[in-house]
């Protein structure tokens, strides 16, 4: 991860090395924070942030689950994000926004503490992605179950949910895989540790419903839109672990990782282990949309300049 110049904290742009929080921050002790990962792309007309308003909407919804008062409205936050990208002269970058309960009272109840907001712009490349986008990644079903919808607000992109993701991701890496796939307490496939999942069989695309506990991914939604445009049939349906092995293609979707083909699940090769034709079509179309090459989707782009 490369350093950036400035990080925005509660309304001020601070030098990267000075952007610090107190060690007794509530969010650090109890995971009482929510966050977003957004991407900006270089285009012929300068940097453009992809689906910024949808990310801001999801951040505010995540905050609602945790009774957070951000101290700014959506338009103000939107402007602050644009200002931070500008202040860093960034074009292709990853934007991380985190809102968390600060320090003052250390008890479990976070409400007496003020909410802090941080916007960081990073040149980040440690995503689940092979250098060669043709080669599928290796995945395994985690022995850690996905957080139950009765345990945590899984619609919220809550910091605490990611302890579950981190356990699964570490298990996958220590087992020689790139990424973990998660099953819920009903035995249905949910998503990967930090991406949604799509599968293809006989020309039909499948993805698990959000009610499984999956995050309502913005890339997932973009892919659903792409399938409509390309007249690819899509089923949103429950999928069991063993069904995973018999698909012709599988891929993951996420803002950071974009569209990543899966080559193996639990040592079983999916298709021929490389990117399949439908995944490639969706990956190409996604690349064009985010870089402003599809005029029908210009409303999803926020130009920085
Ligand atoms: C658990 C989880 N699922 C899915 C996604 C994909 O969401 P999005 O496409 O909005 O980045 C992410 C990434 O943020 C995630 O962390």
Average pLDDT, the chain: 95
Q: Which atom of ligand 1 is nearest to the CA of 161?
A: 1
Tens digit of pLDDT for each residue in 169-196? 999 999 999 999 999 999 999 999 999 9
**Is residue 196 in contact with ligand 1, taking CB distance under 6 Å?**
yes
With contact defined as beta carbons under 8 Å apart, do 69 and 115 qualify?
yes
What residues are annotated to the active site? 157
Confidence (pTM): 0.96
Based on the domain organization, do 117 and 217 belong to the same domain? no
pLDDT at 113: 98
> Considering only CA atoms, which of 119, 15, 10 is closest in space to residue 69?
10
**Is residue 154 in contact with ligand 1, taking CB distance under 6 Å?**
no
Torsion sign over Cα 199, 278, 221, 42: positive
Based on the domain organization, do 89 and 27 belong to the same domain? yes
Based on the domain organization, do 148 and 247 belong to the same domain? yes
Based on the domain organization, do 73 and 217 belong to the same domain? no
C-alpha 36 to ligand 1 mean position (Å): 9
The total of structural domains in the chain comes to 2
Based on the domain organization, do 255 and 148 belong to the same domain? yes
C-alpha 226 to ligand 1 mean position (Å): 18
Is 214 part of any domain?
yes
Based on the domain organization, do 65 and 177 belong to the same domain? no
Based on the domain organization, do 153 and 184 belong to the same domain? yes
pLDDT at 3: 72
pLDDT at 4: 86
**Is residue 222 in contact with ligand 1, taking CB distance under 6 Å?**
no
Based on the domain organization, do 246 and 196 belong to the same domain? yes
Q: Find the mean pLDDT for residues 263-271.
A: 97
Residue 279 sits at φ, ψ, to 5 deg, of -60, -40
Is 299 part of any domain?
no
Has residue 1 got a pLDDT over 60?
no
Is 223 part of any domain?
yes
Tens digit of pLDDT for each residue in 190-233? 999 999 999 999 999 999 999 999 999 999 999 999 999 999 99
CATH number at residue 239: 3.20.10.10
With contact defined as beta carbons under 8 Å apart, do 286 and 261 qualify?
no
Torsion of the alpha carbons at 286, 290, 296 and 300, rounded to the nearest 10: 120
Is 301 part of any domain?
no
Is 130 part of any domain?
no
C-alpha 107 to ligand 1 mean position (Å): 30
**Is residue 37 in contact with ligand 1, taking CB distance under 6 Å?**
yes
- Integer Cα distance of 142 and 172 in angstroms: 7
**Domain final residue pick, 77, 93, 122:** 122
**Domain final residue pick, 75, 94, 122:** 122
Based on the domain organization, do 236 and 259 belong to the same domain? yes
CATH number at residue 23: 3.30.470.10
With contact defined as beta carbons under 8 Å apart, do 200 and 246 qualify?
no
Tens digit of pLDDT for each residue in 100-158? 999 999 999 999 999 999 999 998 766 777 676 788 999 999 999 999 999 999 999 99
**Domain final residue pick, 122, 151, 180:** 122
Q: Find the mean pLDDT for residues 73-102.
A: 96
Q: How many CA atoms lie within 13 A of 230 on its CB side?
A: 22
pLDDT at 130: 66
Has residue 2 got a pLDDT over 70?
no
C-alpha 281 to ligand 1 mean position (Å): 21
pLDDT at 35: 98
Based on the domain organization, do 28 and 96 belong to the same domain? yes
How many angstroms separate the Cα of 120 from the Cα of each of 35, 44, 88, 123, 130? Answer: 11, 24, 9, 10, 25
- Integer Cα distance of 60 and 76 in angstroms: 12
Q: Find the mean pLDDT for residues 57-65.
A: 98
pLDDT at 126: 63
Determine the structural domain holding residue 154 and report its residue range.
Answer: 137-290
Is 82 part of any domain?
yes
**Is residue 137 in contact with ligand 1, taking CB distance under 6 Å?**
no
Based on the domain organization, do 153 and 273 belong to the same domain? yes
pLDDT at 136: 95
Based on the domain organization, do 163 and 95 belong to the same domain? no
Is 128 part of any domain?
no
Torsion sign over Cα 291, 169, 124, 126: negative
């Amino acid at each position: 991860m490369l350093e950036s110049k400035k990080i925005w904290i509660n309304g001020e742009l601070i030098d990267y090395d000075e952007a610090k929080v107190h060690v007794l921050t509530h969010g650090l002790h109890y995971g009482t924070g929510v966050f977003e990962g957004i991407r900006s792309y270089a285009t012929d007309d300068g940097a453009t942030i992809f689906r910024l308003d949808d990310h801001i909407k999801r951040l505010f919804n995540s905050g609602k689950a945790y009774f957070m008062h951000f101290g700014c409205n959506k338009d103000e936050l939107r402007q602050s994000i644009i200002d931070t990208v500008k202040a860093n002269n960034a074009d292709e970058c990853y934007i991380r926004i985190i809102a968390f309960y600060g320090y003052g009272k250390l008890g479990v109840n976070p409400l007496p503490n003020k909410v802090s907001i941080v916007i960081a712009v990073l040149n980040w490349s440690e995503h689940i992605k092979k250098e060669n986008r043709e080669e599928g990644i290796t995945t395994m079903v985690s022995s850690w179950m996905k957080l139950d919808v009765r345990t945590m607000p899984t619609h919220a992109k809550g910091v605490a949910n990611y302890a579950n993701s981190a356990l699964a991701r570490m298990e996958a890496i220590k087992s020689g895989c790139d990424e973990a796939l998660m099953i819920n307490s009903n035995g249905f496939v949910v998503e990967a540790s930090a991406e949604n999942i799509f599968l293809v069989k006989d020309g039909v695309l499948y993805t698990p419903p959000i009610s499984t506990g999956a995050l309502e991914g913005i890339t997932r939604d973009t892919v659903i839109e792409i399938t409509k445009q390309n007249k690819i049939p899509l089923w949103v349906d429950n999928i069991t672990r063993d069904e995973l092995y018999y698909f012709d293609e599988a891929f993951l979707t996420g803002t950071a990782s974009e569209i990543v083909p899966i080559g193996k699940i639990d040592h079983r090769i999916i298709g021929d282990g490389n990117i399949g034709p439908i995944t490639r079509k969706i990956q190409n179309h996604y690349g064009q949309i985010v870089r402003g090459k599809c005029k029908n989707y210009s409303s999803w782009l926020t130009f920085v300049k």
